[in-house]
Structure 1
Amino acid sequence: MDWWAYEPPASASWGWKAICRVKNKFRNAYTGNRWQNGDKGYTIKAGYDWLQGQQLRVPWHYWVWNSLNIPKHSFIAWLAMLERLKTKERLFKSGVCTDKACLFCDVGEDSCLHIFFRCSYSATICDQILRWMNIKIAGYENMFTTWKKWGRIFRRKKLQKVSYAVLTALVYHIWKSRNHTLWNAAVQYPRCVVEHIQRDICSRIKSSVDIHCNIEDRNWINELVIRCS
């Protein structure tokens, strides 16, 4: 009898039934005991990919899931790009909030599009970070286009990774500051937020400087750390 044809008895435990439910999903990918077309054997990765199905590949995954990012920064940046953060704009639509005003500037809406980085508060933080990294970009940007411009400025892979790590840290700490304002009714000084970003990035990129870094990249990273101190 093929493994996928087995059905658990009625007295089976909940855990065993849960396993069998997953097994039933995978049944469609087998012909007898042969995985899919039979060219390759089953692997956990292949099974996971098949279970996920066809996924839309978004262009911004390069900076959100950049290997140099701090994981919690990547998670918040991912939610921000999907516009899934619990902003007042979203909560207003659900009837939870009575207004949508930005907690920083009280001019725009408390939305991902405004907070990153059209709000005057977040724009101030962004400007200081840009000066720290010696990047010159004219005008206010939003998160959905900023990563493209940063990627074009830094052509070399190592510096691109550092810039994307800075960008995710920027998103994370602005969102953290926004939540601090919400719960404590007090806006942090932009300079304090900038210092938190710099501290996180400097501690992160110090470990990335190794023998594989060329002299030019190593010097740039070292200068970034020095400007932070």
Structure 2
Amino acid sequence: MDSEEDDKYVWFPEPGRGTGVFSASDTWRAMNPYPIEVFWHEVMWFTGRIPKHAFIIWVAAKDRMVTRDRLIRWGLSVPSTCFLCTGHDECRQHLFFDCAYSNQIWAFFVSQLNFVSPQSFEAVFRWLKAPSRNKNVTLIIRLIHQAVLYLVWKERNKRIHTAVEKPPRTLIAETQQIIKLRLDPLTRRQIIPQGQDSVLAT
């Protein structure tokens, strides 16, 4: 109290650790010292991803999508049927893999690549960690997976709020266009070893 010098504030997230200067990242680490590493992080946040697609997949992976089964669990009085096929109750697993509508889209791309993919939501994530020995093919499959889930979710929401419906072949064409547009700039930045194809050529 008797000092003529002004008070100086210093920030130490933990005793004896830090520079005295506030850091948001150090504060986060102090508040969350043991982050849980999930097995699907590299499948979602890979280099070359489309950010808005990755975000939707992250929400789905955390099982936080506002599907009808969750709305019913919250106590809301809503129909339980899937908006895309109207034949089964809507949940995350059904919406993206069991529904005849979305399954037709995902199955088209898997068959084009001559792969057999699992049909369980989490099993697909595990499969996407290493679906191919070819890095280009792995990137393409991950991009397709995210694009398909993103467009299916978008189509589901559009049907709820408007009377417009798109057939599966339209979403297949949209996915193909999205992938081609994404691969073009990725190819321009890619360093291609002699004798190998670019990701766009693949």
| TM-score interval for Structure 1 and Structure 2 normalised by the shorter chain | 0.7 to 0.9
Residue aligning to 2:62: 82
Give the distance between the partners of 1:103 and 1:172, measured in 2 at CA.
16
1:165 to 2:143 alignment: yes
Q: Distance in 1 between matches of 2:23 and 2:137?
A: 35
Q: CA separation in 2, counterparts of 1:217 and 1:87?
A: 41
The equivalent position to 1:129 in structure 2, one of 109, 112, 118, is 109
Tell me how far 1:27 sits from its aligned partner: 4.9
After superposition, the Cα gap between the structure-2 partners of 1:109 and 1:216, relative to the gap in structure 1 and judged at 3 Å, is: farther
* Length, aligned pairs only: 194
Q: After superposition, what is the alpha-carbon deviation per residue over 1:52-84, rounded to whole angstroms, capped at 9, x for unaligned?
A: 332110000111111211100000000111111
For structure 2, which runs of at least 5 residues remain unmatched after alignment? 1-6
Q: Which residue of 2 aligns with 1:212?
A: 191
Mapped to 2, the partners of 1:136 and 1:117 lie a distance apart of 16
Pick the structure with more helix per residue. 1
Cα distance, 1:120 vs structure 2: 0.8
Alignment gaps of 5+ in structure 1: 5-25, 224-229
Which residue in 1 is equivalent to 2:3? none
Cα distance in structure 2, aligned partners of 1:51 and 1:169: 34
- 1:139-160 per-position Cα deviation (integer Å, ceiling 9, x unaligned): x613321233244331233432
Residue in 2 that maps onto 1:180:
158
Q: How does 1:13-162 map to 2 (within 5 A)?
A: 27-31=12-16, 34-35=17-18, 44-132=24-112, 134-137=113-116, 141-162=119-140
Aligned counterpart for 2:9 among listed residues 3, 16, 27: 3
Please give the alpha-carbon distance, in whole angstroms, between the structure 2 residues aligned to 1:43 and 1:183: 43
- What TM-score do the two structures reach when normalised by structure 2? 0.82
Q: Does the 8 Å CA contact 1:147/1:164 hold for their aligned counterparts?
A: no
Query: SS of the residue aligned with 1:98?
Result: coil
Q: 1:199 to 1:97 in 2, by over 3 A?
A: farther
**CA–CA distance in 1 between the matches of 2:57 and 2:131?**
20
Confirm whether residue 194 of structure 1 aligns to residue 144 of structure 2.
no
Q: What is the alpha-carbon distance in structure 1 between the residues aligned to residue 129 and residue 13 of structure 2?
A: 42
The CA distance in 1 between the partners of 2:137 and 2:168, in whole Å, is 25
* Cα offsets for 1:6-36 (capped at 9, x unmatched): xxxxxxxxxxxxxxxxxxxx655143xx42x
- Cα distance in 1, alignment partners of residues 25 and 137 from structure 2: 31
- How far apart are the structure 2 equivalents of 1:80 and 1:169? 13
- Percent of aligned positions with the same letter in both sequences? 22
Counterpart contact for 1:102–1:109, Cα < 8 Å: yes
CA–CA distance in structure 1, aligned partners of residues 141 and 105 of structure 2: 15
Residue matched to 1:9: none
Aligned partner letter, 1:3? Y
Q: 1:216: Cα distance to partner? A: 3.2
